[in-house]
A and B are shown apart, each in its own frame.
Chain A
Amino acid sequence: MIRVDGQGSSNSLIQVRGLNKTYKRGGESIQVLQGLNLDVDKGDFVAFMGPSGSGKTTLLNLLGGLDVPTSGTISVDGDEITHMSASKLTQWRARHVGFVFQMYNLIPVLTAYQNVELPLLLTKLSSTDRRKHVETVLSVVGLADRMHHYPRQLSGGQEQRVTIARAIVSDPTFLLCDEPTGDLDRKSATEIMLLIEQLVEKHGKTVLMVTHDPVVAARAHITLHLEKGVLVEGSAERLAAMAGGAA
């Protein structure tokens, strides 16, 4: 069950306690996160919303071990990541986190297949096993027939599918999606969201997603708003109303 009051079960997959993040800009301290708490269970699908600069991406970076908090703790599946060394954190990310970025961030000189294979190069899998994994996930995202295409030969929606395939190919503990539909038209955005929903419902993936789009957020199990550095739960009715208004 998703909670933001710090009272969640100790068995939560992701457990965040008293998370603070302060940036220093030109001698001025900006406190982005202020004692944030969060509990996420396996198979949950959470959307984070909030105005620009509210700290959504910062939270995602902290959860993904890309940044370190000023104080507070983050535990994932029993591992406290906030005190890991940089090299340990890198290894941890490879095993536990799948990243989906707004701008796809594929390597342009590699084919879809080669991009998806990248995380597997860090494992001890043989090339035959890597091939099986890559072909499977490309089938899951519906791009089996595009695996030898380069990113420039794919549409935005297809590129984002490749990014999702790259994120799930090593079967990570959870997915972090930063505005996964932010650069897509409505039709492609819907397709991507259906795919993410499918990953959650059919494959039991845990997904934490940042979005500005209430329609997209409405597809998550819960939407949490970042307000004044802490998370607050958004009402489903309000979001549905916002989604209706947007449509």
Chain B
Amino acid sequence: MKFARLILANLFRKKVRLILTIGSFAVALFLFTFLAVVKSAFSRGTEIAGADRLVTINRIGLINVLPLSYADKIRAIPGVKAVTHNHWFGGVYQDERNFFPQFVIDVENHRKVMSEFKVPDDQWNKFVQDQQGAIAGTTLAKRFGWKVGDRIPIKNALYGTTKTWEFNLDGIYHDDKPGGDDGQFWLQWKYFDENVPAVIKSTAGWYVLKVDSPDDAARVGKAIDAQFANSSNETKTETESAFAAGFAKQLGNIEFLILVIGGVVFFTLLLVTGNTMAISVRERTGELAVLKAIGFSGRAVMFFVLAESLAIALFGGLLGLGLAIVAIPFVGTMLRGLLPTLVLSASLLGLGLLFAVFVGGASGLLPGIGALRLRVVDALRRV
């Protein structure tokens, strides 16, 4: 601690340069954290997917439907515990910006398979009895200020002509899993089936099934696909996490894009901070030499340089993370519908701080080694 004054005095030697460096660090770290949050949002489906669940879709693609009759056939396959089916509704609330995931669900089996979604029994029973009923996630209900009993109009253009479907909000669910999805809107398959064109009637968008044992998932998946092989609607069955990952990839290789941008941010930051430290050390070669002359070891002088670099990284890092804490919820609101819910978790904040410390250490390393190796005699001759 007795060296803190020396380190701080050197740190604040050029205030404008310090502010600019810390500022660039903060902005870069904010960008890094934002990218990490976006990546995490896209992969959250994979992370929270049930290990004992499989998803069966039409082999041609997700937009192709499957006959509803497949449900019983799948249920009959050994190892299958429960089966439910979904449809993608794809409407908007009030205007195009208010887009959120709406699923047509099978009320008889949904809770058997998707057990993490909790709905109070009285609300669920009301929903089951109300063909025009709907259930919304807590986050979604909060977003639009919905309460149980509200009438929710959803405009839809996917099925036949564009029209507004009216729903009664009978219940609000929450997802039991940490980081789970509380942003969905469910409606009843029966009401949907009665109002869609004939070509969609008695179909399912995809099936979700629960198996007796996760160890048996691969065998069950193969058995399902074998069952419908060479039919007019062949299937593709995969684990829920593989399905979620594949779904995210439909938007392009987000992970690769984020890694590339993150890499550019990292190296730019490394160069900016490294350059600042190199200039700072070069400017006071004589002073470092004097410190060595009066008895400070090479390691001590290197420590001073690294400490300055780490201090810049920590100040900049904390500022950037603070900015992220304030701005990401705001950005998330602005991009609602375009991106999954953005969640800045404690682990991401920790990762950001670790990243800052790593960049700080790495950028101070070369100038620090230069200071360590500095020959007093040569340096004093230059003064």
Give bound CA distance, A121 to B293, whole Å.
14
- Give the residue of A110, A119, A127 whose beta carbon is less than 8 angstroms from that of B6: A110
Give bound CA distance, A94 to B294, whole Å.
5
Interface contact A66-B293, CB-CB below 8 Å:
yes
Interface contact A67-B377, CB-CB below 8 Å:
yes
Give bound CA distance, A108 to B9, whole Å.
9
Interface contact B377-A66, CB-CB below 8 Å:
yes
The prevalent SS among residues of B at the interface is helix
- A45 in contact (CB, < 8 A): no
Interface contact B297-A90, CB-CB below 8 Å:
yes
Give bound CA distance, A64 to B3, whole Å.
25
List residues of chain B with CB within 8 A of the CB of A110: 5-6, 9
Q: Which residue of A lies closest to B14 (CB)?
A: A109
List residues of chain B with CB within 8 A of the CB of A154: none
Centre residue among B13, B286, B295 by max chain A CB count within 10 A:
B295
Give bound CA distance, A61 to B289, whole Å.
13
Q: Which residue of B lies closest to A122 (CB)?
A: B295
Q: Tell me how many residue pairs across A and B have CB atoms closer than 8 Å.
A: 66
Q: Mark B268-304, 1 if CB is under 8 A from A, else 0.
A: 0000000000000000001101111111111000000
List residues of chain A with CB within 8 A of the CB of B20: none
List residues of chain A with CB within 8 A of the CB of B294: 93-94, 99, 118-119, 166
Interface contact B2-A99, CB-CB below 8 Å:
no
Give bound CA distance, A64 to B380, whole Å.
13
- B267 in contact (CB, < 8 A): no
Interface contact A103-B376, CB-CB below 8 Å:
no
Interface contact A99-B9, CB-CB below 8 Å:
no
Interface contact B297-A101, CB-CB below 8 Å:
no
Give bound CA distance, A66 to B293, whole Å.
7
Give bound CA distance, A108 to B380, whole Å.
16
Interface contact B2-A61, CB-CB below 8 Å:
no
Known A-B contacts A105-B290, A110-B6; A61 and B295 likewise in contact (beta carbons under 8 Å): no
Binding site for B on A (CB under 8 A): 61, 64, 66-67, 86-87, 90-91, 93-95, 99, 101, 103, 105, 107-110, 114, 118-119, 121-122, 127, 166
For the complex with contacts A93-B295, A99-B294, A105-B289, 9 further pairs of A-B residues with Cβ separation under 8 Å are A67-B377, A94-B296, A95-B295, A105-B380, A105-B383, A110-B5, A118-B6, A118-B294, A122-B295
Q: Which 10 A-B residue pairings sit nearest by Cβ, starting from the closest? A: A94-B295, A109-B9, A105-B290, A66-B376, A67-B377, A90-B297, A119-B294, A109-B13, A93-B295, A122-B295
Cβ contacts A to B, 30 pairs, < 8 Å = A64-B293, A66-B293, A67-B377, A86-B298, A87-B297, A90-B292, A90-B296, A91-B295, A94-B294, A94-B296, A95-B295, A99-B293, A99-B294, A101-B290, A101-B380, A101-B383, A103-B286, A103-B383, A105-B380, A105-B383, A107-B6, A107-B9, A107-B291, A108-B13, A109-B9, A109-B10, A109-B13, A110-B5, A110-B6, A121-B3
